[in-house]
Copies of this chain bind each other. A is one copy, B any other.
Amino acid sequence: MSGNRIDQQRRFIVETDELKNVSRRTRPIGQERRENSAEHSWQVALSALVFSEYANEEIDLLRVIKMLLIHDIPEVDVGDVFHYDKDSTADLASREAAAAERLFGLLPADQGEDFLALWHEFEKRQTPEARYAAAVDRLMAFLVNSGNAGGTWREYRLAASKVLEKNSHAADGAKPLWILIERIVGEARKDGHLT
């Protein structure tokens, strides 16, 4: 491949194909295998579209969906870390930032800088779009685990209080989605899927 623009873009898509091979803890509903970060990224982007009316603030939906399509791409280099292990994983933020630079750096410079800025915006949760995108990202495990007889909540014997505490920032992006999360947690406690 030469170094021209479309070949750089081709290389980026080929290299990020590896996201299909990054395993998360969650299992697709009714399946034994773990889900991968590529199919999760589809589901969270679709959900952002479906639930957009619930954003707390006015949002640019295209910007949200762009963020969600690329939010896990650094995992191509660093893998996925279980949401409840993030605080205890050394250097995670700096390793992910380095991976983002390498991977978005495969693109033509203007495009790579745009994607890298979007990725940082998502991570910082300081804009309406980033707050809403984070809320939808948090909602995913609730929809999948509750459709899966408790899923990873049961597998890792998680407590309802911890699950609520670790995801409470969803309320900053979309209050109705937080209320839905609280309702799902209530159902899961009743069913014994959360302690």
- Which chain A residues have a beta carbon within 8 Å of chain B's beta carbons? 6, 9-10, 12-14, 16-21, 28-31, 35-36, 38-39, 41-43, 45-47, 49-51, 54, 61-62, 65-66, 69-70, 107, 111, 143-144, 147, 176, 180
Docked pose: A43 CA to B12 CA in angstroms? 11
Query: With contacts A6-B180, A14-B29, A143-B10 known, is A66 near B43, CB below 8 A?
Result: no
Q: From the candidates B20, B30, B62, name the one contacting A39 in the complex (CB within 8 A).
A: B20
Say whether chain A's binding surface is mostly helix, strand, loop, or mixed. helix
Q: Is the CB of A13 within 8 A of B107?
A: no
* Min distance, Cβ A129 to any Cβ of chain B, angstroms: 13
Identify the closest chain B residue to A143 (Cβ): B13
Q: Is the CB of B50 within 8 A of A9?
A: yes
Query: With contacts A17-B144, A176-B6 known, is A43 near B38, CB below 8 A?
Result: yes
Q: Is the CB of B17 within 8 A of A21?
A: no
Q: Is the CB of A45 within 8 A of B45?
A: yes
Q: Which chain B positions have C-beta within 8 A of A43? A: 13, 16-17, 20, 38
